[in-house]
A and B are shown apart, each in its own frame.
Chain A
């Protein structure tokens, strides 16, 4: 079956530090990949996505590249801010689009200190 593995948290960084949150997946076929963010007290929000190999999703300074050869979709940001503190979930959809339920990783709690 499908699965998503992401680095365990919490991850604590200082403001303006470089961020990497690792995510690898197992899936058959050609899944779409997503990063969702959950701010304290709020629901999940789509941060970025990629639908095919070598695609790069980007939003709010965050980036992730769909690497089929390494089955990875690592999240990066060059300079984090305190407001980036949240829980980040990597997820995949088997066929892309909205027709399939998502398989999520366990989430990574990111804490940015001023």
Chain B
């Protein structure tokens, strides 16, 4: 089946640094990619939707200047958490969808900000 690769799977960094998370669709062209955030024992919350070559659409309450999303190709989207702080610590999950394809999810990235 379709595979979505997310990297890194775990990152620990100091407060104030920026962290980039990559999401790649390995065997199909992802016209749309999604970024979700999951707090412990909570549901996945959609953060933003990105279409290749377009600016991302952010959900209400998500700071677009804090969470920079780039979807420069049909196989790669990146999420950059800028000037990360402890409250940004969470589990971030991407998904990718192509034409007539359901969403396929990456394995997630656990971000810990010290």
A positions within 8 Å CB-CB of B? 4, 34, 36, 42-46, 49, 89, 97-107
Q: Which residue of B lies closest to A105 (CB)?
A: B43
Q: Of the candidates B44, B102, B106, which one forms a contact with A104 in the assembled complex, judged by CB atoms under 8 Å apart?
A: B44
Mark each residue of chain B from 22 to 52: 1 if its CB lies under 8 Å from any CB of chain A, else 0: 0000000001101010000111111001000
Q: Of the candidates A46, A89, A97, A99, which one forms a contact with B44 in the assembled complex, judged by CB atoms under 8 Å apart?
A: A89
B positions within 8 Å CB-CB of A? 4, 6, 31-32, 34, 36, 41-46, 49, 59, 93, 95, 97-98, 100-108
Q: How far is the CB of B99 from chain A (nearest CB, A)?
A: 8
Let me know if A43 and B43 touch, CB within 8 A: no
A89 with B43, Cβ < 8 A, contacts A43-B107, A45-B105, A98-B32 known: yes
Q: List 16 A-B contacts (CB under 8 A).
A: A43-B4, A43-B105, A43-B108, A44-B105, A46-B102, A46-B103, A97-B100, A97-B102, A98-B31, A98-B97, A99-B32, A101-B46, A101-B49, A102-B34, A102-B46, A103-B46
- Shortest 5 CB-CB distances between A and B: which pairs? A98-B97, A43-B107, A101-B46, A44-B105, A104-B43
Chain B contacts for A45, CB-based, 8 A = 105
Chain B contacts for A104, CB-based, 8 A = 36, 43-45
Chain B contacts for A100, CB-based, 8 A = 49
